[in-house]
Amino acid sequence: MGRLPLLQATISETLRLRPPAPLALPHCCPLSPSSLGGLPVVAGTVLVPNLLAAQQDPDIWQHPEVFLPERFLAPGAPSRSLMPFGCGARSCPGEGLARAELFVFLGLILREFRLEPGPGGLPGLRGSPGTVLRCPPFRLRMVPCQPLGSP
């Protein structure tokens, strides 16, 4: 995986813009009042972290609405702010497997095919909200690459 940093960066940027689930698991405020980001939180309040909004925070991410995989190649990239699978005790235990599958699957596709937009062009980055974000339907051409040494 370390030998293909741009592929790894592309996966991270895709997960930043489209996390598997835009909302994390609910958290309950302890028995005493607290605060979050300077805002008071009443004891017993249930909080639902918005991962999608956090990963598009302009205070952390430059040009948060733009697909820029190279942001993860630069020194000092805000990688610790990338939380597509949640964080802490409630993070997804399958994150490592999911990332490995994404890397292998996408790497194999890109090795064998050149991806081209279909007749309708590329889809927009907006998705329809829900438990998961759905992108609008689109078509993609997968053109087989020439094997090495072929004319």
- Output the 3-class SS for the chain: CCCCHHHHHHHHHHHHHCCCCCECCCEECCCCCEEECCEEECCCCEECCEHHHHCCCCCCCCCCCCCCHHHHCCCCCCHHHCCECECHHHCCCCHHHHHHHHHHHHHHHHHHEEEEECCCCCCCCCCECCCCCECCCCCEEEEECCCCCCC
Give pLDDT tens digits for 14-52. Answer: 999 988 888 888 888 888 888 888 999 999 999 988 888
pTM of the model: 0.81
Q: Residue 12 in contact with residue 68, Cβ under 8 Å?
A: no
The better pLDDT of the pair 22, 147 is held by 22
92 is in an annotated binding site: yes
Q: Residue 44 in contact with residue 28, Cβ under 8 Å?
A: yes
Give pLDDT tens digits for 69-112. Answer: 999 998 888 888 899 998 887 788 999 999 999 999 999 999 99
107: nearest Cα among 99, 117, 96: 99
pLDDT score for 147 = 67
The three-point CA angle 22-24-27 to 5° equals: 150
Domain ranges of the chain: 5-28+41-118+125-144
